Amino acid sequence: MSNEKIQAGLDKYNASVEKVVSRFPERPNLPEQRLYTPLDIKDTTYDEIGFPGMYPYTRGVQPTMYRGRFWTMRMYAGFSTAAESNKRYRYLIESGATGLSCAFDLPTQIGYDSDDSIAEGEVGKVGVAIDSLADMEILFDQIDLGKVSTSMTINAPASVLLAMYIAVAEKQGVAADQLKGTIQNDILKEYAARGTYIFPPRPSMRLITNIFEYCSKNVPKWNTISISGYHIREAGSTASQEIAFTIADGIAYCEAAIKAGLHIDDFAGRLSFFWNAHNNVLEEVAKFRASRRVWAKVMKERFHAEKPKSMMLRVHTQTAGSMLTAQQPNNNIVRVALQTAAAVMGGTQSLHTNSRDEALALPTEESVMIALRTQQIVACESGLADVIDPLAGSYYVEALTNKIEAEAWEYINKIDEIGGAVAAIEKGYIQKEIQDSAYKWQMDVESGAKTIVGVNKFQIEEEPPKGLLKVDASVGVAQCERLAAMKAKRDNAAVKASLTDLKAACQDENENLMPHILNAVRVYATLGEICGVMREVFGEYEAHVNL
Amino acid sequence: MDIVEELLKGNRLALSRAITAIENEYDDAVEIMKKLYPHTGHAFVLGITGPPGAGKSTLTDKLAKAYRAQGKTVGIIAIDPTSPFTGGAILGDRIRMNGLTMDEGVFIRSMGTRGSLGGLSHKTADAIKAMDAFGKDVIFVETVGVGQSEVDIVKAADTTMVVLIPGMGDDIQAIKAGILEIGDVFTINKADHDGADKLVRELNMMLDLDAHSEQMTQNSTEKALADQFHHLNVAKHAAGAAWRPPIQKVIASQNEGVAETIENIEKHFKYISENGILQQRRTERSKNEMLDVLHNNIGTYITRRLADTGELEEYVGQIKRRETDPYTVVADIMRDMLKE
Amino acid sequence: MEKRIRVLVAKPGLDGHDRGAKVVARALRDAGFEVVYTGLRQTPEQIAEAALQEDVNVIAMSILSGAHPHLFPKVVDLVRKNGMDDVLIIGGGVIPETDIPALKEAGVSEVFTPGTPTGSIVDFIKANVK
């Protein structure tokens, strides 16, 4: 049918709809456009959509996608002590999880030892407490680091945790070049959305480029960064903002690495991303597709990358934690299933599914099992993983992909004008945009413009949930005792020497810090001691808040 | 708790409650101020103003730390705008000063501009006095923006520092909007950003021009009249415009240029002390304070009387019906009241 | 008189999830309150001292890390020790129902769990502030 004919048909349809709507009004708060036709994508050439495994990767980064092998089912876990978490990891591997994902407690994430006064009440709460190599050895006890791929949600002190991982592998007899996994290592989104920063931007960017450089030579299979939109979305951004701000962060990392003398194709293939799978299924699918297209263009046109791998946006996904409700928590199972479907139709490379009880507490083993089974059901039973990019060609999804891409470019250009992501964060621009969206969301929920089942509609009287997982306060005490015992046993002269050496290295901007950190962790210098030295030299970041 | 007695003993909660009484116009506020007044007049008061986003709070934080290192105690009053629609306010300056919270020698109080601007400058002046009586050596008053309200507030300061940053787009506009006259000391924050040198050049040019034009108009009676209630300009003239505000480039977040800024502030304070300008400013301030209280009290007294007797409504009705006019009404009221 | 309700919105503990705290801060501002926001990683000592200097009527805290059983009561203690007996202290975040009685026992007036409309927090403050 020619466009003219379609337009004529559409006009006829619209006229008839107007009559219907005057008698039976539509629901309020709907997207303006009710129907999509070929006219909405008439300017989209097939070059923009393309083929899987080929530029611009709109349809996915691998040629066969899930027809070869499913995405990595990677469950984020970790709590209390290294020994407890080790038990959970081994349980997950036995249950069919194909990758590990370590959650660290907040003192670890901010570079404090468990016996620091600031850590009081936090030890082992949202993840496992790691003070030194000794804890890391227990965490991966009987887990073959040559086989498993491990993702670590660690940012400001990522260099230290990576060094500990390498050191544990050494003890297992696994060479660094065999290690597979990811460190999050994305400090910019910490400033903008997640809040577990330590150092100011400049030394933080140096640490990140040091890791890029070190790994490109010594740990080549390691994903050196997971540039994360997940937390930006959790903080309240829209889908377009999520990918725009994250890609802007990605641009900043590339620029920093290039400035440090690296070639784009030497490190870009190890960059990975981290998206949120939110509630609106089709919008999320479009977001995944748009993000791959934007990144491919950025890498090719802006950075003149030549290797295809450099242009591929590979992504880990987590279902939206902020969309879980404390009310009627079993409903969350359904939400997570839909979010999983979105991530899979969007073409993710790995996925963590949240557990139903996470708006209330840490997940129980039973809840984690349901979450993992959700992925397995989508993979094996739904058929969604059987054909590549199944929603391509949908007038709506293609138009939405274009729209999200356009909105993302608009933000990226705006951030360029401000002077890049670092400047935009220092000015508070990105934070303000996110906060505005978060506030709008909340007001929409409160006004009823947005319905959340069980929260502002279909509520019921509920009994308080039972059987929630709780981390006992004694965990902190025991961890401090273990730390003290370790300190008494180690070679303190060697620790002191390694820290003095590290300090000198910090002061020399041209020095790569990774080998120095590795030396320190090998002699059991603690995370707090190592970060303490860096705090001394680098100072601490002061947040920009503009409500 | 006897607020005054406890405040003078160094009770921080009493100081806090005194400022609340001032801010909320509690009935005991006047009594508190009366008793505190004899204990005031010792602190050095620094006004800090400049456009939003200039990094004033971060700079205040660094200056406070530097004064603390000299062994001086510090009070900080940080003012943020109140929403004219809801009456609410986000008071977010403390966040840049978190490192000072646990220092017992520092007391930080955030204030919203709330309703009337005149009321705010009056309340700020009283809050300064409360901190002064408490024994603070140095008191900072930090305001947002560059409007008339800021000019009024910084009148309570001995030295006024204007903070600017490069790349605001309308640098010159901001400078023209009246802050050139009130700045005794200028600070260009975020001096590592593009355009810092250009801003310094432009500012230098304008300050030179300003000094020149002041000398030109010094003898004009018109200007003298206009300046009568403007102690800042009076002070400048008295010294023959000899103080040329210095400009310091600063990177507050990295503590660069902070020592030099303090040097400038101290130089200015020394200058105004030695030339009698400080005394003149403080005399002028005492006069303004008295007149403020006078105007405020008379206004309140008359308004309340008129409201109580129902005359207010009656007058308004007459004016609305054009039976009379506001000027005649006020003249009548003045005649009646002053007769008493 | 020009009294305004003053609220300190604080994040004790180390978690960086301040979406809720910021949304609440804005909602309270829009309800006509004066909101002092102190940002992330505040120790109980810092919160109590800021509350004293600002002479707030309400302290509203948010924790998502699970450190509330330790940190909320500590703030209450310190605030009361400072002689601020009538400050309303409220909390929010990922807080299991079963923890709430103990927090109330410790002096936290109300605990708001996920899904609470900001309007309920405003109403609670208006009804209970002294």
Residue C69 with chain A: CB contacts under 8 Å: 121, 473
Which residue in the block uniquely carries the two structure tokens 């300050």?
B207
A485 and A438 within one domain:
no
Task: Specify the DSSP element, H or E, that contains A158.
Answer: helix A158-172
Q: Is residue A458 assigned to a domain?
A: no
**CA atoms within a 13 Å half-sphere pointing along the CA-CB vector of A66:** 28
CA distance C105 to C111: 12
CA distance B62 to B265: 14
A431 and A503 within one domain:
no
> Who's near B117: CB < 8 A, 6+ residues apart?
B148, B149, B152
Q: Does B90 sit within 8 Å of C4, measured CB to CB?
A: no
Q: For C36, which residue in chain A has the nearest alpha carbon?
A: A547
pLDDT of B214 over the 90 cut: no
Chain mean position to CA A244: 14
Token pair belonging to A376: 């397995």
pLDDT in tens, B270-316: 999 998 988 888 888 888 888 888 888 888 888 888 889 988 999 99
A157 preceded by cis ω (within 30°)? no
Residue A109 belongs to domain with CATH number: 3.20.20.240
Helix (H, G, I), strand (E, B) or coil at B298: helix
Top mean-pLDDT range of A10-24, B189-203, B217-231: A10-24
Q: Does C39 sit within 8 Å of B88, measured CB to CB?
A: no
A310 and A428 within one domain:
yes
Q: Which DSSP string do the residues of B61-96 spell out, in sequence order?
A: HHHHHHHHHTT--EEEEEEEPPPTTTS-EEE-GGGG
pLDDT of B216 over the 70 cut: no
- What number of other Cβ atoms are within 10 A of residue A234's Cβ? 23
Residue of C41, C16, C73 lying closest to A117 (CA atoms): C41
Count contacts between B and C (CB, < 8 Å): 90
Q: How confident is the model at residue B225 (pLDDT cuts 50, 70, 90)?
A: very low
Helix (H, G, I), strand (E, B) or coil at A389: coil
Among A400, A430, A447, the domain boundary falls at A447
CA distance B212 to A320: 64
What distance in Å separates residue B113's CA from the closest CA in chain C?
10
Q: How confident is the model at residue B217 (pLDDT cuts 50, 70, 90)?
A: very low
The verdict on domain C6-128 having CATH code 3.40.50.280 is yes
Residue A396 Cα distances to A30, A404, C88, angstroms? 15, 12, 51
A204 and A151 within one domain:
yes
Q: How confident is the model at residue B227 (pLDDT cuts 50, 70, 90)?
A: very low
CB A269 within 8 A of CB A307: yes
Helix axes C19-30, C118-128, angle to 10 degrees: 60
Chain A neighbors (3+ CB pairs < 8 Å): B, C
Identify the pLDDT of residue B226: 42
Mean pLDDT of C71-100: 95
Domains of chain B in sequence order? 40-275 (3.40.50.300), 294-339 (no CATH)
* Type of residue numbered A509: E
CB C73 within 8 A of CB C103: yes
What distance in Å separates residue C110's CA from the closest CA in chain B?
22
What distance in Å separates residue A117's CA from the closest CA in chain C?
10
CB A509 within 8 A of CB A206: yes
Residue B224 Cα distances to A387, B219, B237, angstroms? 86, 7, 10
Q: Is residue A21 assigned to a domain?
A: no
Q: How confident is the model at residue B231 (pLDDT cuts 50, 70, 90)?
A: very low
Pairing of strands A72-77, A350-352: parallel
Q: For B52, which residue in chain A has the nearest alpha carbon?
A: A546
Burial of A509 (0-12, 13-18, 19+ CB in 10 A): exposed
pLDDT of B240 over the 50 cut: no
Q: Would you give per-residue pLDDT tens digits along chain A (547 residues)?
A: 899 999 999 999 999 999 999 999 999 889 889 999 999 999 999 999 999 999 999 999 999 999 999 999 888 777 788 998 999 899 888 888 778 889 999 999 999 999 999 999 899 988 999 999 999 999 999 999 999 999 999 999 999 999 999 999 999 999 999 999 999 999 999 999 999 999 999 999 999 999 999 999 999 999 999 999 999 999 999 999 999 999 999 999 999 999 989 999 999 999 999 999 999 999 999 999 999 999 999 999 999 999 999 999 999 999 999 999 999 999 999 999 999 999 999 999 999 999 999 888 888 889 999 999 999 999 999 999 999 999 999 999 999 999 999 999 999 999 999 999 999 998 889 999 999 999 999 999 999 999 999 999 999 998 877 777 777 878 899 999 999 999 999 999 999 999 999 999 999 999 999 999 999 999 999 999 999 999 999 999 988 777 7
Q: Does C37 sit within 8 Å of B20, measured CB to CB?
A: no
Among A447, A464, A484, the domain boundary falls at A447
Residue C20 Cα distances to A19, A128, A322, B298, C108, angstroms? 44, 24, 10, 47, 18
What distance in Å separates residue A35's CA from the closest CA in chain C?
33
Phi-psi region of B152 (alpha: psi -120 to 50; beta: other; left: phi over 0): alpha
User: Can you give the residue range of the structural domain that contains A115?
Assistant: 68-447
Identify the pLDDT of residue B146: 55
B247-249: strand order across its sheet:
B106-112, B74-80, B138-142, B44-49, B159-164, B185-188, B247-249
Phi-psi region of C12 (alpha: psi -120 to 50; beta: other; left: phi over 0): beta
A532 and A387 within one domain:
no
* C21 vs B152 pLDDT, higher one: C21
Residue of B43, B244, B78 lying closest to B157 (CA atoms): B43
Residue B24 Cα distances to A471, B14, C2, C58, angstroms? 45, 15, 5, 16
What distance in Å separates residue C105's CA from the closest CA in chain A?
18
CA distance A208 to C119: 43
pLDDT of B169 over the 80 cut: no
Q: Is residue A14 assigned to a domain?
A: no
- Partnered with residue B159 across adjacent β-strands are B46
Identify the pLDDT of residue B206: 83
CA distance A546 to C118: 20
Among A427, A447, A467, the domain boundary falls at A447
Token pair belonging to A52: 């899987």
Domain ranges of chain C: 6-128
A111 and A237 within one domain:
yes
CB A3 within 8 A of CB A25: no
pLDDT in tens, B87-99: 999 999 999 898 8
Domain count, chain A: 2
- Partnered with residue A72 across adjacent β-strands are A350
Residue C38 with chain B: CB contacts under 8 Å: 94-95, 98
A262 and A365 within one domain:
yes
CA distance C34 to C28: 8
Residue B253 with chain A: CB contacts under 8 Å: 200, 542
pLDDT of C1 over the 60 cut: no
Residue B20 with chain C: CB contacts under 8 Å: 55
Identify the pLDDT of residue C35: 97
- Partnered with residue B164 across adjacent β-strands are B188
CA distance B336 to A321: 71
Of B53, B92, B253, the CB nearest to A545: B92
pLDDT in tens, A376-411: 999 999 999 999 999 999 999 999 999 999 999 999
Q: How confident is the model at residue B75 (pLDDT cuts 50, 70, 90)?
A: very high
A500 and A430 within one domain:
no
Chain C neighbors (3+ CB pairs < 8 Å): A, B
CA distance A364 to A358: 9
Please report, rounded to a whole number, the percentage of residues in chain C having pLDDT higher than 70.
98
Identify the pLDDT of residue B336: 83
CA distance A357 to A340: 17
CB A180 within 8 A of CB A169: no
pLDDT in tens, B171-189: 556 555 567 778 899 999 9
CA distance B85 to A30: 30
CA distance B115 to B95: 24
pTM over 0.95: no
pLDDT in tens, C41-80: 999 999 999 999 999 999 999 999 889 999 999 999 999 9
Q: How confident is the model at residue B241 (pLDDT cuts 50, 70, 90)?
A: low
CA distance A391 to B250: 55
Q: Is residue A461 assigned to a domain?
A: no
CA distance A317 to A99: 13
Pairing of strands A180-183, A149-152: parallel
Residue C29 with chain B: CB contacts under 8 Å: 83, 86, 88-90
Q: Is residue A466 assigned to a domain?
A: no
Identify the pLDDT of residue B171: 52
A484 and A435 within one domain:
no
